[in-house]
C-alpha cells in the first residue's frame, strides 16, 4: 500500500500532468490541421506558438510531473512512508514546477516565447520564459532530494540488505537527471538569461546548442526509464510471472547513467563548428546506449516465456498465448514495447552519421519521437494510470472499465500508427520539421506531401479522441468506480534470494565512470567552441 500521507502528493503530480496532457494534446491536433491546411488558427495564434506550447507541455511538463508522481507512489509502496521533512521538500518541488509551468505557458500565450521546446538560439524569448524553465528544473531538484533521501534512509535502516528494485531504479533515473540537467542549467543561467535581459549582446550559438543536447539526449531516457520501471517491476507481476533477473535490471539502469549523457552530438551531426572526430566518438557511445535497451528486450521476452511455461504452454512460441491480452495493465505496456522495436531501429538510423544527413530536420525525426515518447512511453504511462489511480483512491478497476481502457489504448495505437507512419515516409522525401508547411515553390517532390499531411491529421484526430476518453476514464476511476482495493503490482525476481553484487550499489563508482566518460567526450570540443567561437549572435524574434 502507498501510505495515505503520500497519496495526495502522488495524486497532485499526476493530475497536474494530465491537465498538461489534455492541453498539449489538443494543441497537437491543431498543428496537424494547420499543416494539412484544413484550418487557420483563431485569436491571432500562430503555428509556432502552439507548437512551442505543445512541446513544452508534453515533452517537459507532462512527463516530469507524471514521472515524479509515479515515483513517489512506488517509493512509498516499497520503502515506506516519506518522512515529513522529505514530503515537505517534495511539495516545494511541486509548487516550483507548477509555478514555472504556468509562467512559461503565459509567456508562450502572450507570444513572447515562440522558440519551440528546444529554445534554440538565436531565437530569443522573454527572460521570464527562461526563468520559468529554471523554476521547473529547481523544482525537480527538491523532488530529487526527497527520493534520494528516502532511499538512503531505507538503506541505513536495513544495512546489508538488497534495496527494493523500484527504489533503486528511481534513484538511478534521478542520478541521470541530475547530471544531465547541469548542461541546460548552465545554458539557461549563464547564456540565455543574461542575453535575454540585454546584459550580453550576443550568444555563442554552438555552445548553447551543445549544452542543450548534453541535457537533451539523457532527457529522453529520463522519460523512458520510468516506463522501464513498469516493464521490469510491474509487468511480470501482472502476467503472473517473475522478474527475469534483479541484477540484470539494475545493471541496465546503471548503463543508462554511463552512456546516455556523453552522446549529445548525435543531435548535432550536421552542426558546423564541432569536429568530425568528436562526433564520431559520441556516435560510438550512442551505439553503447542501445545495449541496455537490448538487455531490457531480452529480459522482457524471458519473463514472458517463463510465465507462459509455468502455466503449461509449450513449444517455441506457445507461451505467447498465455499472456493476459485482455488486461489493460499488460496490453498497454506490451503495445508500448512493440512500438519500441521500430522506434529503436529508427533511433539507430538517426545515429548513423551518413543516414542522419537524409533525415535530420525532416519530419521523420518527429515521427521517431512520436513512436518513442508518444507511443512506447505514454502507452506504458496510460497503463500505469489505470491501476495506480484506483489504487491511490481506494477504488477498483472493474471489468467494464478495463474493456473501455483497452479500447482507448487501441484507439491511441491506431492514431499514433497512422500519424507517425506518415511522418516517417514523408520525412524520407524531405518534408521539413519545425515548419508550418512548405511546397518548395511547387516542387514535384513536395506535391506528394499533401496526402501524408492529411493522414497526420486523421491520426491526430484519433489521438485526441483517445485523450478525451482517457481523461473521462481517469475521472471515473478517481470518483465513481466501486470502492475497494486495487493492487499496486510489484514483481518478485527469479534471483530474489540471491545476494546482488555489492558493486551494483556502489554509486560513487558508477557516477565516477559516468563523469569520466563525459569529460572524455566533451572537454576538448567544448573548450574549442569557447576558445574559437563563431561570431556571436544577437537575439531574433521572427514571430
Which residues form the catalytic set?
Answer: 217, 221, 368-370, 433-434
Smaller CB separation from ligand HAS, 157 or 341: 341
90 binds ligand HAS (CB under 6 A): no
Cell numbers standing for residue 521: 567526450
Q: Which stretch binds ligand HAS (CB under 6 A): 370-378, 379-387, 396-404, 530-538?
A: 370-378
Cell numbers standing for residue 445: 517532390
Other CB atoms within 10 A of residue 81 CB: 15
381 binds ligand HAS (CB under 6 A): no
Q: Minimum distance from CB of 154 to ligand HAS (Å)? A: 28
**Site size toward ligand HAS, by CB under 6 A:** 32
Query: Considering only residues 110, 294, 355, 534, which one is a binding residue for ligand HAS as defined by CB under 6 A?
Result: 294
* 528 within 8 A of 275, measured Cβ to Cβ: yes
391 binds ligand HAS (CB under 6 A): no
For the segment 271-290, give every residue that binds ligand HAS (CB under 6 A): 286, 289-290
223 binds ligand HAS (CB under 6 A): yes
* 371 within 8 A of 418, measured Cβ to Cβ: no
Q: Minimum distance from CB of 213 to ligand HAS (Å)? A: 8
Q: How far apart are CA 310 and CA 314, in angstroms?
A: 10
Residue with cell 483563431: 42
377 binds ligand HAS (CB under 6 A): yes
Cell numbers standing for residue 133: 524553465
360 binds ligand HAS (CB under 6 A): yes
For the segment 115-144, give every residue that binds ligand HAS (CB under 6 A): 118
Q: Minimum distance from CB of 275 to ligand HAS (Å)? A: 18
Residue with cell 567552441: 529
Contact pattern from residue 333 through residue 352 relative to ligand HAS, giving x for each residue in contact according to CB under 6 A and a dash for the rest: ----xx-xx--x--xx-xx-
Q: How far apart are CA 313 and CA 319, in angstroms?
A: 5
Smaller CB separation from ligand HAS, 12 or 364: 364
Cell numbers standing for residue 247: 541484477
Contact pattern from residue 298 through residue 317 relative to ligand HAS, giving x for each residue in contact according to CB under 6 A and a dash for the rest: --xx----------------
Rounded to 5 degrees, φ, ψ at 538 are -75, 170
Beta bridge partners of 335: none
Query: Considering only residues 256, 265, 369, 488, which one is a binding residue for ligand HAS as defined by CB under 6 A?
Result: 369
Q: Minimum distance from CB of 261 to ligand HAS (Å)? A: 13
Q: Minimum distance from CB of 489 to ligand HAS (Å)? A: 18
Smaller CB separation from ligand HAS, 131 or 363: 363
Q: Minimum distance from CB of 48 to ligand HAS (Å)? A: 14
* 500 within 8 A of 493, measured Cβ to Cβ: no
Smaller CB separation from ligand HAS, 87 or 217: 217
For the segment 229-268, give every residue that binds ligand HAS (CB under 6 A): 266-267
Residue with cell 549563464: 190
31 binds ligand HAS (CB under 6 A): no
428 binds ligand HAS (CB under 6 A): no
Q: How far apart are CA 394 and CA 354, in angstroms?
A: 54
358 binds ligand HAS (CB under 6 A): no
Q: Cβ contacts of residue 426 below 8 Å, gap of 6+?
A: 363, 448, 449, 452, 453
208 binds ligand HAS (CB under 6 A): no
Query: Considering only residues 16, 29, 373, 396, which one is a binding residue for ligand HAS as defined by CB under 6 A?
Result: 373
Q: How far apart are CA 484 and CA 466, in angstroms?
A: 27
Q: What is the CA radius of gyration of the chain?
A: 23
Q: Minimum distance from CB of 266 to ligand HAS (Å)? A: 4
Q: How far apart are CA 6 and CA 170, in angstroms?
A: 16
Q: Minimum distance from CB of 26 to ligand HAS (Å)? A: 20
Tell me the Ramachandran region of residue 312: left when phi exceeds 0, alpha when psi lies from -120 to 50, beta otherwise: left
DSSP 8-state secondary structure symbol assigned to residue 504? G
Q: How far apart are CA 453 and CA 456, in angstroms?
A: 5
* 388 within 8 A of 14, measured Cβ to Cβ: yes
324 binds ligand HAS (CB under 6 A): no
DSSP 8-state secondary structure symbol assigned to residue 377? I
145 binds ligand HAS (CB under 6 A): no
Report the chain's terminal Cα–Cα distance, integer Å: 51
DSSP string, 179-203: HHHHHHHHIIIIIIHHHHTTSSS-B
Separation of CA 378 from chain center: 8
Cis, peptide link before residue 122, omega less than 30° from 0: yes
Q: Minimum distance from CB of 523 to ligand HAS (Å)? A: 21
Smaller CB separation from ligand HAS, 25 or 347: 347
Smaller CB separation from ligand HAS, 115 or 396: 115
Binding site for ligand HAS (CB under 6 A): 118, 220, 223-224, 266-267, 286, 289-290, 293-294, 296-297, 300-301, 337-338, 340-341, 344, 347-348, 350-351, 356, 360, 365, 368-369, 372-373, 377
Amino acid at each position: 500500500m502507498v501510505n495515505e500521507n503520500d497519496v495526495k502528493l502522488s495524486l497532485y503530480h499526476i493530475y497536474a500532468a494530465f491537465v498538461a496532457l489534455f492541453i498539449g494534446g489538443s494543441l497537437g491536433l491543431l498543428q496537424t490541421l494547420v499543416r494539412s491546411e484544413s484550418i487557420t488558427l483563431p485569436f491571432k495564434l500562430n503555428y509556432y506558438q502552439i507548437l512551442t506550447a505543445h512541446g513544452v507541455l508534453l515533452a517537459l511538463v507532462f512527463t516530469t510531473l507524471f514521472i515524479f508522481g509515479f515515483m513517489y507512489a512506488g517509493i512509498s509502496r516499497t520503502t515506506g512512508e516519506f518522512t515529513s521533512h522529505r514530503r515537505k521538500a517534495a511539495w516545494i518541488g511541486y509548487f516550483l514546477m507548477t509555478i514555472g509551468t504556468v509562467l512559461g505557458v503565459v509567456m508562450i500565450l502572450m507570444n513572447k516565447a515562440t522558440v519551440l521546446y528546444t529554445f534554440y538560439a538565436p531565437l530569443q524569448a522573454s527572460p521570464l520564459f527562461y526563468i520559468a524553465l529554471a523554476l521547473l528544473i529547481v523544482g525537480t531538484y527538491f523532488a530529487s532530494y526527497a527520493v534520494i533521501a528516502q532511499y538512503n534512509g531505507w538503506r541505513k535502516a536495513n544495512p546489508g540488505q538488497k534495496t527494493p528494485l523500484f527504489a533503486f531504479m528511481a534513484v538511478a533515473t534521478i542520478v541521470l537527471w541530475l547530471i544531465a540537467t547541469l548542461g541546460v542549467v548552465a545554458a539557461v543561467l549563464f547564456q540565455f538569461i543574461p542575453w535575454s535581459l540585454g546584459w550580453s549582446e550576443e550568444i555563442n550559438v554552438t555552445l548553447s546548442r551543445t549544452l542543450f543536447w548534453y541535457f537533451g539526449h539523457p532527457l529522453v531516457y529520463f522519460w523512458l526509464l520510468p516506463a522501464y520501471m513498469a516493464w521490469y517491476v510491474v509487468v511480470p507481476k501482472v502476467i503472473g510471472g517473475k522478474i527475469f533477473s534483479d541484477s540484470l535490471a539494475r545493471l541496465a539502469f546503471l548503463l543508462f547513467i554511463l552512456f546516455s549523457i556523453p552522446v549529445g552530438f548525435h543531435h548535432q551531426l550536421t552542426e558546423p563548428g564541432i569536429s568530425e572526430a568528436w562526433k564520431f566518438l559520441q556516435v560510438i557511445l550512442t551505439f553503447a546506449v542501445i545495449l541496455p535497451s537490448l538487455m531490457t528486450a531480452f529480459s522482457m521476452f524471458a519473463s514472458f516465456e517463463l510465465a507462459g511455461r509455468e502455466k503449461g504452454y509449450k513449444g517455441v512460441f506457445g507461451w505467447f498465448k498465455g499472456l493476459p491480452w485482455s488486461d489493460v495493465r499488460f496490453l498497454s505496456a506490451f503495445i508500448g514495447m512493440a512500438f519500441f522495436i521500430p522506434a529503436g531501429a529508427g533511433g539507430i538510423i538517426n545515429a548513423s552519421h551518413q543516414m542522419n544527413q537524409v533525415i535530420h530536420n525532416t519530419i521523420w525525426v518527429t515521427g521517431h519521437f512520436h513512436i518513442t515518447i508518444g507511443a512506447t512511453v505514454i502507452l506504458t504511462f496510460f497503463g500505469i494510470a489505470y491501476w495506480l489511480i484506483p489504487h491511490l483512491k481506494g477504488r477498483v478497476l472493474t471489468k467494464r472499465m478495463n474493456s473501455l481502457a483497452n479500447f482507448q489504448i487501441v484507439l491511441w495505437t491506431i492514431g499514433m500508427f497512422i500519424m507517425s507512419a506518415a511522418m516517417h515516409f514523408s520525412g524520407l522525401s524531405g518534408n521539413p520539421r519545425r515548419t508550418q508547411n512548405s511546397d518548395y515553390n511547387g516542387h514535384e517532390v513536395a506535391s506528394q506531401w499533401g496526402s501524408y499531411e492529411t493522414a497526420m491529421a486523421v491520426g491526430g484526430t484519433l489521438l485526441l479522441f483517445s485523450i478525451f476518453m482517457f481523461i473521462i476514464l481517469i475521472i471515473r476511476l478517481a470518483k465513481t468506480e466501486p470502492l475497494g482495493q486495487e493492487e499496486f503490482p510489484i514483481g518478485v525476481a527469479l534471483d530474489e534470494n540471491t545476494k546482488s553484487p555489492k558493486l551494483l550499489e556502489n554509486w560513487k563508482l558508477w557516477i565516477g565512470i559516468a563523469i569520466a566518460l563525459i569529460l572524455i567526450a566533451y572537454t576538448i570540443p567544448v573548450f574549442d567552441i569557447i576558445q574559437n567561437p563563431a561570431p556571436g549572435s544577437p537575439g531574433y524574434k521572427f514571430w
